Structure 1
Amino acid sequence: MKNKFGSFLLAVLFFMMSCTTAEVNKFIQGATEASLTEADVSNGLKEALVKGVGTGVESASSVDGFLANDLIRIGLPDEVQKVESTLRRIGLGSEMDKVITTINRGAENAAIEAKPIFINAIKQLTIKDAWDILKGEDDAATSYLQRTTTDQLVSLFKPHVQESLDQVGATRYYGDLVSTYNNFPTTSKKLDPDLNTYVTNRAIEGLFKLIAEEEKAIRENPLERSSSLLKRVFAAQD
């Protein structure tokens, strides 16, 4: 009996050593596409999206969540960047640095407002959506959220962004900067003092980037799959 068990164990070990990590993971989980029910796929995808959203929002809304992250850090608007050297040359360098800091603080403060909107969109996920996402690209779930939430995020995010910008003084700092530049004698093209739309769009774009990173990690790394359901659903596609 011991010899038979030993032979069986060796055979299993040999099999696992000869397989790729993805194949071993699938063997361990016992998940195949055929074994997944529609409820499994739908619930698994919703769980993955909630996880990605939670991680992304938490990261973005933390102190320096935007400012210290090169992936999502919000710089000055394009029209200001085009005249940045001029602005610094006329002594507005410190004001520019202050604006960059405060607009990122505004985005960080407002980011938490996105989570309920994302969660609501996740609840609307259909069975077809779930299968399409499961079989899709690394950012298929993130793309789904972009299609279904962007308009709502923009309209609901703007007041919170404005409140946050006012709270940290970004509106005033940017308004002073633009006003100083626009009133300079040699200025031919005036800068737009509207900061809200710019920060809103960049903040939402940053959130989607963070969620996409989390989605990719869940798809590629079994250790990121925090529940048995996530393991089963994504192992079937490995």
Structure 2
Amino acid sequence: MKAPTLFLLFPILLILLTVPSHAGFFDDLTKGIGSSGTSTIGLDDSTIAKGLKEALATGTSRAVGSVSRPDGYFSNEAIKILMPEKIRNVADILGKFGFQQEVDNFVLSMNRAAEKAAPKAKEHFVSALKEMSFEDARGILAGGNSAATDYFRKTTGDKIYASFKPVVTANMKDTGVVRNYSQMMDRFAAIPFVGTASSFDLGHYVTTKAVDGLFSMLAVEENKIRTDPAARGTQLLKKVFGR
């Protein structure tokens, strides 16, 4: 028996992205795919393929867009980059001594650096979609409700980190992260008897949190496409995912 053709990838992922696990519906759909290139829902393989690609493009584009706009990280409590744990004692002490503004400026500037780096992720998501194999699809299908997000994280996570890091580092200067951090540490050092602050890689911290936040939003968008018809936007998505 020949190996499954590439077109079989599309209906499998279509089910993943649009409906909860439902063996009966999956069986009905796959039974209808034959040599004529049609399915029981009346769509040909070309339409299904376009719908799938548009769904993934829509989800990733929305996730990137949501975090790359001003306050995309800062105003979203789920992904906001907070004071690093290693220097949280510094922030607490500074706040008590009347320097809360310095602390707030530092937190805001970290989030601004992440927001400026976020657009870099889009190209990696597009590449991952193009390279997705039938075996990948099987693994996603057997996974949970965040299986597509998990797949993108596995295939693009390191690449996104690598592309984010230099942008974050550069923007840490432009958005004032370095300046605000230095001012905050200087204020802390001037307070008698408080000891010294722990050192850490600030660029790594901001980049890691930026990547984590992006994938958190991608999981949100994946869930919307699976469960909410209103999130499907275009006429093609409504046609393909018309349930």
When normalised by structure 2's length, the TM-score is 0.74
Question: Which stretch shifts more, 78-87 or 146-155?
Answer: 78-87
Specify whether residues 230 and 133 from structure 1 end up closer, same or farther in structure 2 by C-alpha distance, changes over 3 A only: farther
Aligned pair 1:143/2:140, yes or no? Answer: no
Q: Which structure 1 residue ranges, 5 or more long, are not aligned? A: 1-21, 23-30
Q: 2:30 aligns with which of 24, 30, 33?
A: 33
Q: Structure 1 CA distance, aligned partners of 2:30 and 2:238?
A: 12
How far apart are the structure 2 equivalents of 1:215 and 1:173? Answer: 36
CA deviations on 1:70-90 (whole Å, 9 max, x unpaired) are 111111101222343212123
Report Cα offsets for 1:39-84 as digits up to 9, x if no partner: 8776654432221110011111111111111111111101222343
Q: 1:53 aligns with which of 60, 70, 79?
A: 60
- Return the letter of the residue paired with 1:167: D
2:118 corresponds to which residue?
Answer: 111
Does the 8 Å contact 1:154/1:200 carry over to 2? Answer: yes
Match of 1:160 in 2: 167
Please say if residues 87 and 197 of structure 2, whose CA atoms lie closer than 8 Å, have aligned partners that are also in contact.
no
Choose 1 or 2 for highest CA Rg.
1
Report the Cα offset of residue 146 of structure 1.
0.8
What amino acid is aligned across from residue 31 of structure 2 in structure 1? A
Q: Within 2, Cα distance between the matches of 1:40 and 1:86? A: 60
Question: 2:201 matched to 1:194?
Answer: yes
Matched, 1:207 2:204: no
Q: Distance between the aligned counterparts of 1:75 and 1:104, measured in 2?
A: 8
Q: Distance in 1 between matches of 2:116 and 2:53?
A: 26
Contact 1:74 1:104 (C-alpha < 8 Å) held by counterparts: yes
User: 1:141/1:41 Cα in 2 relative to 1: closer, same or farther (>3 Å)?
Assistant: farther
Distance of aligned partners of 1:42 and 1:135 in 2 relative to their CA distance in 1, 3 Å threshold: farther
Question: Does the 8 Å CA contact 2:90/2:197 hold for their aligned counterparts?
Answer: no
Measured on the aligned residues, the alpha-carbon RMSD in Å equals 3.1
Alignment map for 1:174-189 (pairs within 5 Å): 174-182=181-189, 184-189=191-196
Q: 1:134 to 1:119 in 2, by over 3 A?
A: same
- State the alpha-carbon separation in 2 of the partners of residues 178 and 118 from structure 1: 38
1:102 aligns with 2:99: no
Normalised by the size of structure 1, how large is the TM-score?
A: 0.76
Contact 2:54 2:237 in 1 (8 A): yes
